Amino acid sequence: MNDQARQVVVLGATGSVGSNTLEVIAGSGGKLQAVGLTAHHQLDRLVELARLHSPQWIVASDPAAAQQQDWDALPAGTELMTGEEGIRQLVSEPSVDVVLSAIVGSAGLIGTWAALQAGKTVALANKETLVMAGSLVTKLAAEHGGRIVPVDSEHSAIFQLLEGNRREDLQRIILTASGGPFRQWTWEQIEQATVEDALAHPTWEMGPKITVDSATMMNKALEIIEARWLFDIPEDQIEVVIHPQSMVHSLVEFRDGSTLAQLGPPDMKLPIQYALSYPHRWEGPAERLDLSAPLQFEFSPPDLDRFPALELGREVARMGGTAGAVLNAANESAVAEFLERRLEFTNIVLACRAVLEQHDFEPDPTLERLIELDHWARQEIKTWNCR
Ligand code: MG
């Protein structure tokens, strides 16, 4: 064991970002060490990962699933904890340096919240946390000396582009979007989209929830809200541009009119490693930009008619308060309904708008109120579906 290694907790170790993170850790040459891993349902996989990475702690966050699991194969030095309390305890361990938060959806909030409360650095892959509770989470980080380093590729790009520049010179953030699998589909075609169509992402390999979000472009809507909180910038200074190659991860424009871009292959290991190595840069596993062959980049404005999620995201970023929690929960629930083939693709965004408009908006909610509204919005989506 290397005493200098950064001690990393991976919340959501069995998912797509979690797996990439463990590859980054394994390839870090001892600069990073996985000391804690968590999983919700894939507990056989969690045991396998514990045998591979010998963490000090693992957490099975669903206590019922944990009881059913056979833990005999767990390495002797690995301690098992369970439930939300297990997650809170894990991220607060004094030896932990960085918490990589990759639990999908609003379930990711608990671990991120506890880590920031303990003053840790959070490498945040879970955008839902900021969408749901951006003002509270950023305030919490400031109060306890914690820090959020983005893992989302666009936000990592912006974060990198702002390093060494003065925040007050920032004029505009330009988020790039691949456009998803339906970029060139007509509205009539999109109305007929199946689960299989929506899961066929052209450039990024990701979990099912974010892949569907990418097809509706709700992912970009959520990223507008994420950027609003992460960089403390009003919604009207955030723009979206379609860039099908997914090589330019985002751009920032400064007040003198100079625009900077960050480029790299569409590989999550790059922003993950930067979040874990920050403020340093290390040798990385990512492919290099190949300029020995012709390379063309396209940029075009998004079509707001075919992708109404974008306008919805903007409205929610402008509203703040309870709007983000309601949109986030409504979308999670609607995507789950779509994946179960109980909701049509174009109804995902329609249902989200309806639920958002129905809710009792509050400008300055508590965390408890946001969690209540999260539960409420999920139920509303289910009844909307039955009409
Ligand atoms: Mg992204």
Q: What is the pLDDT along the chain (387 residues), one digit of tens a residue?
A: 445 899 999 999 999 999 999 999 999 999 999 999 999 999 999 999 999 999 999 999 999 999 999 999 999 999 999 999 999 999 999 999 999 999 987 778 999 999 999 999 999 999 999 999 999 999 999 999 999 999 999 999 999 999 999 999 999 999 999 999 999 999 999 999 999 999 987 777 778 898 999 999 999 999 999 999 999 999 999 999 999 999 999 999 999 999 999 999 889 999 999 999 999 999 987 788 888 999 999 999 999 999 999 999 999 999 999 999 999 999 999 999 999 999 999 999 999 999 999 999 999 999 999 999 999 999 999 988 654
Distance 72 CA to ligand 1 centre (A): 38
Residue 44 has a CB neighbour count (10 Å cut-off) of 13
- How confident is the model at residue 63, as a pLDDT? 95
- The beta-carbon contacts of 276-284 under 8 Å, at least 24 apart in sequence, are 276/6, 276/8, 276/21, 276/24, 276/25, 276/28, 276/32, 276/98, 276/100, 276/123, 277/31, 278/149, 279/163, 282/28, 282/31, 283/29
Distance 148 CA to ligand 1 centre (A): 16
Q: Are 309 and 217 in contact (CB under 8 A)?
A: yes
Q: From 251, 255, 256, select the one nearest 240 (Cα to Cα).
A: 251
- How confident is the model at residue 346, as a pLDDT? 97
Distance 82 CA to ligand 1 centre (A): 30
Q: Work out the mean pLDDT of the chain and round it to a whole number.
A: 94
- C-alpha 348/C-alpha 309 separation (Å) is 9
Distance 181 CA to ligand 1 centre (A): 15
Distance 323 CA to ligand 1 centre (A): 21
Distance 153 CA to ligand 1 centre (A): 5
Distance 263 CA to ligand 1 centre (A): 14
- How confident is the model at residue 2, as a pLDDT? 46
Distance 207 CA to ligand 1 centre (A): 12
- C-alpha 71/C-alpha 299 separation (Å) is 51
Distance 210 CA to ligand 1 centre (A): 9
- Kindly report the pTM of this predicted structure: 0.93
- How confident is the model at residue 101, as a pLDDT? 97
CA-to-CA dists, residue 136 to 139, 158, 312, 369, 378, angstroms: 5, 22, 21, 12, 21
- How confident is the model at residue 107, as a pLDDT? 78
Distance 245 CA to ligand 1 centre (A): 14
How many residues are there in the chain?
387
Distance 222 CA to ligand 1 centre (A): 9
- How confident is the model at residue 386, as a pLDDT? 52
Distance 10 CA to ligand 1 centre (A): 19
- How confident is the model at residue 285, as a pLDDT? 75
- C-alpha 25/C-alpha 231 separation (Å) is 27
- C-alpha 92/C-alpha 111 separation (Å) is 9
The residue assigned the tokens 């009539």 is 188
Q: From 117, 132, 34, 46, select the one nearest 82 (Cα to Cα).
A: 46
